[in-house]
Structure 1
Amino acid sequence: MERLASRVILLWGFRRALLAVFAGAIGALALPPFSFVAALFISFTLLVWLMDGCASAPGTGILGRCRASFALGWLFGFGYFVAGLWWLGNALLVDGDEFAWALPLAIFGLPAFLALYYGFATMLAGLLWSEGFGRLAALAVSFTLAEWLRGILLTGFPWNAIGYGVMPIPIMMQSAHAIGVLGVTACAVFVLSTPALFGTRRGLITGVVLSLLLTCAHFGYGYYRLNQPLLNDPKASNTPFTIRIVQPSIDQARKMDSRERQAVFEEHLSLSSQSPKPGQRRPDIIVWPETSVPFLLTENRDALSRIADVLSDGQVLIAGVVRAEGGAAGQPTRYYNSIYAIDSQGQIIGAADKVHLTPFGEYLPYEALWNSVGIGNIVNMPGGFTAGSTRSPITLPDGKSLYPLICYEAIFPDEITSDIAKASFVLNLTNDAWFGDTPGPYQHFLQSRLRAVETGLPLIRAANSGISAIINPHGEILQGLDFGQKGFLDSTMSGLYVSDWNSFVRNTNFWLIFISLFMIAVISRLGYKIKLN
């Protein structure tokens, strides 16, 4: 590996840039649906060697090294995000006549912007760069900081953070419960970069030992937690109850066709009214996906009556709807992406609005500016959606409480509030039909599963086209429907779980890891400068 490392370190110009893009792109193979974790070892090993080349370039001052390392990280990020997010362009093809022109912006423009975060990461790492395993710690803290910024700036877009690439199965997911996705990212970047030490030999033994310790802790904690009993609520009834998830798998273009609205609604009702499979109980809770009702339900009393006709006594329907508010006395009507709980009398007994909207999908940042050049929302809604003010659980008549995360909200772990302690389940309604049969729905499903692990609560996930599932607090799939599969699933559960969500403990653990890696990087850098002098 020393010969290979030397060749990579000495690369320059076009070949160096091409290898940086390739290193990022191959890392995307660690993401669903491929989940080839080894690809990230290749990515970060190459990135370390390329960074070594920046640090050792002759005749460059600190500004020159910063420019070179930023460009390197940007190229790496561009490859990673194009390979991991190209499927976003599929949403523009649903209404291709209006939005096909924006395909290059979705496929290349957004990755070019997101790559700025990774450029920042490598530039910061370059300032802390040294010999030995200290440079791996520098890369780890820098990428972690970049991922944190990516999750909060400009409303945030933390999709496909590096940590997700090392959590494809439940035993590898449990670390997120203890240190969060950012903590997993910090440890993962260090471990994934370790093979680079075999090419340069500096700090090899210490780096490999530390990497093995982190890997053993990752799998060890996973094994430990998977063998711990799930926490049941002693105050809750142990009476079994059944949840039915409806997955109609309706094409997005058809959902948007006003002539198909009633037929789409009836398909949801038909699947809801099906008799349970042999040996199964009648469902107590029926769950429909995001925006499953294709009209304003409160303005269609016949629709509420149809729902009441389908539901038996005591059954409750949880449905994704569009909710309207205002419109009187000359006031503009505001629309919300919402969830309704509807009882067997056709009465709306609970509701929740989406708080974190999707930019350019559900609302336009700087709308007047974009409208002036003829650009509107992908979702055809006058003025776009309005964000809900708060996120709080929906409480059903029997006391069960559902913590709502609508679609895109499931990728923001830091936005889960303390109200999660009141909930019996995490509820994720989504409509991934926008993205077709691409990696997008599979990536979204993985990120949603991690919210169950972090909160310690089961996840009920209903997706129009899939993937729908009941997931236990360990991230294990109890039952599910594959992408594109039309039908329903019934899952019977006994008792309710108690969330062991504790943001203080998780954040404390994360900061201990982050500060430890930062101190390793700083001490290594100081030692390196003393050696140079």
Structure 2
Amino acid sequence: MMALTGWRRHLTAALLGGLATFALPPAYAVPVLLLAFPGLLWLLDGAATKRSAFLIGWWFGFGHFLLGLYWISFALLTDIARFWWMMPFAAAGLPALLAIFIGAATLCLHVLARRLALRGLARVLALAMLWTVAEYLRGHVLTGFPWNLIGYSWVGFPPVLQSVAVIGTYGLGLVTVAVAGLPALLGDRSESRRRAMGSIAAGLLLVALIGAAGWVRLSQSDGPTVPGVTLRIVQPNIAQTLKWNPAERARNFERLLELTAEPPAPGAHSSTQLASTQVTPTHVIWPETAVPFFLERDAAARQAIGSVTPSGGAVITGAPRVRTETDGTNRFWNSLHAVDGSGALLASYDKFHLVPFGEYMPLRGILPVASIAAGATDFSAGPGPATLEIPGLPPFSPLICYEVIFPARVKDASRRPDWLLNVTNDAWYGISAGPHQHFAIAQARAAEEGLPLVRAANTGISGVIDGYGRPTAYLELGSRGVVDAALPKALDNTPYGRMGDLILVVLLMSFGVGTTIARQTA
């Protein structure tokens, strides 16, 4: 692998990056990382220049994101006549941009390895640190896009996932890359075989200890729920091509009303607390932009919602919001509203972390192109995370669509909620890996914060996740129906919930010390 050059080297790097994608949801084939990252290090062993080191990382990242984010281009199929020209940019352009972060990481590793004479274990630890820094930057630069962080590989393994309550998803990714890179020592002439095998064994033991600690944590949980609260999550499964069709809007709205009014009937995937009984829902949750009208201006729509609202409860729904400014122009928000039985608005929330090119067009003055979801007029951003209170419910933090993907940025830090509510519309991406990845990300947020998370998605996956990141009720992707579920109680605030990514800084410093020690003892 060191001897590979030219297109063979780049193709191998891309294939290794694609292979690493299979560790992520929905596949969770974590052992492939034990091949992908050693392969990346061996390819870097053959890099003689900074340019070649960058390109190896870039091609690895391109293959990784091309396979992991293929589904993003599906959003353009909803109006292919308008957006056909954007297909190459969505399918390959975004992976190409995101791959720059990986290329920068391998470039830095190449430079540091030569200037500091990093070999063996020291170089593996340095790769883990630089990969994590690259992920962190990817999650923050230009509003950030921390999708498919390598730490999400463990969402399918609840005991290991518990570690994010302390070190967060970035921290779990740091440990994951470090352990996954250790087999590279078997091909390193500067390392004895005995030391290489010892390092690999120590890495696997560390993962086992993390899993054992998580298993103990889970075994001590008894799954308490909030008394007197039963949530009905409505999944209408409306195709994106029909969602905003003027001829279908009224029918789509009626479908939501009909599903809301159905008799209590916990589904096959309901929480055990409700599986054997019929409990009348106290509150109803609809997905993002479920209502295609401006509720604050449409009394008839509010009255219709009020007619199916549980007594003393509320319907919480996504809907667009509009305000006419003094100059006669309109501003729009992607919002969430709570409506009571009288049709009154109890509370509202405006999405603050908007999707570039989807809900607004960056540099619109330079790029006079309609955004995919918002059209020619951009959505405005809300003020930020908020904690809402609705009668009969514990206070909660609303998150619209991909606001849930940002670690440590899902709640008002000054007022911790008792649960998280994520309403979304993944119909843009059809039956693909995208909705599965989105649900897994929500599981990680719940485990990080120790807060249950309720998710209502137009086409799925909808459900309830407890504070340990475990689904307690859900509706399958592509199905239509409702699920009635209890609301799990919040756990005590986690270390990550209190300190956020300050813990990551401590971890990176610890790895830096470990790298120095490994370098000196090599």
Counting only pairs closer than 5 Å after superposition, residues 363-382 of structure 1 correspond to structure 2 as 363-371=360-368, 375-382=369-376
List alignment gaps of at least 5 residues for structure 2: 266-275
**Mapped contact 2:360–2:374 kept (Cα < 8 A):** no
- Return the TM-score normalized by structure 2: 0.92
Question: 1:107 maps to which residue?
Answer: 91
Partner Cα distance (1:444, 1:257) in 2: 26
Question: 1:5 maps to which residue?
Answer: none
1:359 pairs with 352, 356, 361, which one?
Answer: 356
Partner Cα distance (2:375, 2:312) in 1: 34
Question: 1:216 maps to which residue?
Answer: 208
Partner Cα distance (2:282, 2:379) in 1: 31
Matched AA of 1:309:
S
Counting only pairs closer than 5 Å after superposition, residues 433-448 of structure 1 correspond to structure 2 as 433-448=427-442
2:27 pairs with 34, 39, 44, which one?
Answer: 34
Asked if residue 228 in structure 1 is aligned to residue 225 in structure 2, the reply is no
* CA deviation string 1:205-245 (max 9, x = no partner): 44224313421232122212212336979xxxx63321000
Partner Cα distance (1:498, 1:91) in 2: 39
Question: 1:50 maps to which residue?
Answer: 43
Question: 1:308 maps to which residue?
Answer: 306
Question: 2:461 maps to which residue?
Answer: 467
1:158 pairs with 109, 128, 146, which one?
Answer: 146
Partner Cα distance (2:220, 2:494) in 1: 13
Aligned length: 504
RMSD: 2.0
Matched AA of 2:84:
A
**Going by fraction, where is helix more abundant, 1 or 2?**
1
Matched AA of 2:321:
R
* CA deviation string 1:130-171 (max 9, x = no partner): 222111101000001100100110110111111112332312
Asked if residue 286 in structure 1 is aligned to residue 278 in structure 2, the reply is no
The 1:222–1:123 alpha-carbon spacing in structure 2 relative to 1, beyond 3 Å, is same
Counting only pairs closer than 5 Å after superposition, residues 419-498 of structure 1 correspond to structure 2 as 419=413, 421-493=415-487, 498=492
The 1:496–1:178 alpha-carbon spacing in structure 2 relative to 1, beyond 3 Å, is closer
The 1:520–1:340 alpha-carbon spacing in structure 2 relative to 1, beyond 3 Å, is same
Asked if residue 195 in structure 1 is aligned to residue 189 in structure 2, the reply is no
Question: 2:236 maps to which residue?
Answer: 248
Asked if residue 118 in structure 1 is aligned to residue 102 in structure 2, the reply is yes
List alignment gaps of at least 5 residues for structure 1: 1-7, 58-63, 529-533
Q: CA deviation at 1:399?
A: 5.1
Partner Cα distance (2:427, 2:42) in 1: 40
Partner Cα distance (2:337, 2:96) in 1: 38
Question: 1:136 maps to which residue?
Answer: 124
Partner Cα distance (1:417, 1:249) in 2: 28
Q: CA deviation at 1:526?
A: 6.4
- Return the TM-score normalized by structure 1: 0.90
Asked if residue 178 in structure 1 is aligned to residue 166 in structure 2, the reply is yes
1:266 pairs with 248, 254, 257, which one?
Answer: 254
* CA deviation string 1:295-334 (max 9, x = no partner): 2112221111111111232121010111112x14324211
**Mapped contact 1:180–1:506 kept (Cα < 8 A):** yes
Matched AA of 1:514:
L
**Mapped contact 2:397–2:420 kept (Cα < 8 A):** yes
Q: Percent of aligned pairs with the same residue?
A: 38
* CA deviation string 1:509-528 (max 9, x = no partner): 43332112222334545677
Partner Cα distance (1:74, 1:391) in 2: 34
2:339 pairs with 338, 342, 356, which one?
Answer: 342
Question: 2:134 maps to which residue?
Answer: 146
**Mapped contact 1:405–1:427 kept (Cα < 8 A):** yes
**Mapped contact 1:9–1:50 kept (Cα < 8 A):** yes
